[in-house]
């Protein structure tokens, strides 16, 4: 199979942009990506894979054609990929496969979402469709409620402290404060976060990610031609994906995301690496407890020690595995369909030494993206060439 390289990435600003269209956001990400490479023409793109839940804004269908028009690549094969919050990670996965197989030499993978141009009631309805509707949502469960169940069970089983769960928010806001693309560029204190309005105990408003508009893109190619466009290609060395039951009540444990565990093990095996080799990571912290679970599911620490991992500063820059140096979903933002590739964008920046919170000497990074409450997961391991 062909070896695959990322030659560039781009991202729009994340936030609330009622005056911008899907096309505006994706074009912004695309223009940044093309600004980092040379000798590149849009006509060289052979296929596009676009992740989007099509959240309920101005364009509910045929998203791929809309985006192809936005970046002037009409005529090529293009498809929208939907897998809840993991949509663009799966789009990226399929783009990689298309190059590995020899079908394409150059492909793009990205995502876009508009979450702020519909009513609050509609936003809540659309956000909930990524979970179990029949037995959870129609019974009154919400995503904050589901993740609150995970948090309380983790606290019960392992003695995890609420303070340590919330430290994830404090850390990620501190990194987002230096990220010009982030939705929330303000630092917070642990006291502020602990005493914020309660959403679903033990999760306060600062433990929950925002609703976000935004877009992201990665330009991939056959590794044999990567140096034509950049001196700093980043190689896709490991991939893994998995699924689990949609509803929490059907799972064996509330403190493990089995889909992420399966995905991470497959990615490590493909890359011929171990968790100890990862030097920087972006993980899916839609709620702060999700980051704690990701530490454990990706093997950065033992099961039940996620709270201790952050308490000791191991997920900080300078720690064992710096996590969410872009601000994470919590502070950078979570435009559902764009989130997966936006995580890859942050890892790409780290490995090409472009990051505002640079990890010195980072050569290997991991991006961890889940859908819903963990019913789907995709993990990618990237390595600097």
| pLDDT tens digits, 76-133 | 999 999 999 999 999 999 999 999 999 999 999 999 998 887 777 777 666 666 678 7
pLDDT of residue 3: 98
Domain limits of the chain?
A: 4-119+212-234, 132-210+236-384
What is the Cα–Cα distance from 41 to 365, expressed in whole angstroms?
Answer: 28
CA angle 359/364/370 to nearest 5° reads 95
> Residue 59 has what pLDDT?
57
Q: Specify the fold of 4-119+212-234.
A: Peroxisomal Thiolase; Chain A, domain 1 (3.40.47)
Whether 266 shows a pLDDT value over 70: the answer reads yes
Per-residue pLDDT of 135-184, as tens digits, reads: 887 788 889 999 999 999 999 999 999 999 999 999 999 999 999 999 99
Query: What pLDDT, on a 0 to 100 scale, did the predictor assign at position 118?
Result: 73
Q: What is the pLDDT of residue 126?
A: 66
Q: Considering all CA atoms of the chain, what is the largest pairwise distance in Å, rounded to the nearest integer?
A: 57
Instruction: Say whether 284 is catalytic.
Output: no
State how far the Cα of 57 lies from the Cα of 116, in Å rounded to an integer: 8
Task: Give residue 128's pLDDT.
Answer: 66
Position 139 scores a pLDDT of 80
The whole-number pLDDT of residue 61 equals 64
Q: What is the mean pLDDT of residues 307-321?
A: 98
CB of 163 closer than 8 Å to CB of 194? yes
Per-residue pLDDT, 66: 81
In this chain, the answer to whether the domains covering 4-119+212-234 and 132-210+236-384 adopt an identical fold is yes
CA distance 90 to 96: 10
| pLDDT at position 11 | 98
Q: What is the pLDDT of residue 69?
A: 86
Q: If pLDDT is split at 50, 70 and 90, which confidence band does 68 have?
A: confident
Order the strands of the 4-11 sheet from edge to edge: 78-81, 47-51, 106-113, 214-222, 4-11, 234-243, 376-384, 364-371, 280-282
> Do β-strands 214-222 and 106-113 pair in parallel, antiparallel, or remain unpaired?
antiparallel
* For range 186-194, the mean pLDDT: 98
State the catalytic residue, choosing from 9, 85, 208, 301: 85
Residue 355 annotated to the active site:
no
Question: What band does 57 get if pLDDT is binned at 50, 70 and 90?
Answer: low
DSSP H/E element including 28: helix 22-35
| Residue 162, φ and ψ in degrees, nearest 5 | -55, -40
Per-residue pLDDT, 359: 98
Mean pLDDT score across all residues of the chain: 94
220-257 pLDDT, tens digit per residue, is 999 999 999 999 999 999 999 999 999 999 999 999 99
- E strands, the chain, in order: 4-11, 47-51, 78-81, 106-113, 198-200, 203-204, 214-222, 234-243, 280-282, 364-371, 376-384
At 215, is the secondary structure helix, strand, or coil? strand
Which of 218, 209, 193, 170 is closest to 332 using CA atoms? 209
Residue 366 pLDDT: 99
Domain 132-210+236-384 has CATH 3.40.47.10: yes
Would you call 250 exposed, middle or buried from its count of C-beta atoms within 10 A (0-12, 13-18, 19+)? exposed
At 55, the pLDDT band (50, 70, 90 cuts) reads low
pLDDT band at 265 (very low <50, low <70, confident <90, very high): very high
Q: What is the pLDDT of residue 135?
A: 81
Cα of first residue to Cα of last residue in the chain, in angstroms, is 18
Which tens digits make up the pLDDT trace of 341-379? 999 999 999 999 999 999 999 999 999 999 999 999 999
Q: Which of 154, 173, 334, 380 is catalytic?
A: 334
């Amino acid at each position: 199979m062909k070896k695959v390289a990322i030659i560039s990435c781009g991202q729009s600003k994340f936030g609330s942009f009622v005056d911008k269209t899907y096309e505006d956001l994706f074009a912004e990400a695309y223009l940044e990506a093309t600004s980092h490479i040379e000798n590149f023409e849009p006509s060289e793109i052979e296929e596009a894979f676009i992740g989007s839940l099509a959240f309920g804004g101005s364009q509910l269908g045929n998203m791929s054609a809309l985006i192809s028009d936005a970046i002037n690549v009409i005529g090529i094969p293009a498809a929208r990929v939907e897998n809840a919050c993991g949509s663009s990670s799966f789009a990226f996965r399929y783009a990689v496969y298309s190059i590995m197989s020899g079908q394409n030499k150059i492909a793009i993978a990205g995502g876009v979402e508009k979450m702020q141009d519909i009513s609050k009631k509609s936003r809540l309805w659309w956000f909930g469709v990524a979970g179990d509707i029949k037995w959870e949502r129609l019974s009154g469960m919400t995503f904050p409620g589901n993740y609150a169940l995970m948090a309380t069970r983790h606290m019960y089983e392992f003695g995890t402290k609420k303070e340590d769960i919330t430290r994830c928010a404090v850390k990620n806001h501190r990194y987002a404060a230096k990220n010009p693309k982030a939705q929330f560029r303000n630092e917070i204190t642990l006291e502020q976060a602990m005493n914020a309005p309660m959403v679903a105990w033990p999760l306060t408003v600062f433990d929950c990610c925002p609703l976000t508009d935004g877009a992201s893109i990665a330009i991939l190619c056959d590794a044999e031609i990567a140096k034509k466009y950049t001196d700093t290609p980043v190689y896709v060395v490991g991939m893994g994906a998995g699924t689990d039951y949609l509803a929490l009540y059907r799972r064996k444990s509330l403190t493990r995301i089995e889909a992420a565990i399966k995905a991470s093990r497959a990615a490590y095996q493909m890359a011929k690496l171990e968790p100890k080799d990862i030097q920087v990571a972006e993980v899916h912290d839609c709620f702060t407890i999700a980051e704690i679970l990701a530490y454990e599911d990706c093997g950065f620490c033992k099961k039940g020690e996620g709270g201790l991992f952050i308490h000791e500063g191991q997920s900080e820059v300078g720690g064992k595995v710096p996590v969410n140096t872009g601000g994470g979903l919590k502070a950078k933002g979570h435009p559902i369909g764009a989130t997966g590739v936006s995580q890859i964008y942050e890892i790409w920046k780290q490995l090409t030494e472009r990051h505002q919170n640079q990890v010195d000497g980072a050569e290997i990074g991991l991006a961890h993206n889940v859908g819903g409450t963990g019913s789907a997961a995709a993990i990618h391991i990237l390595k600097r060439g």
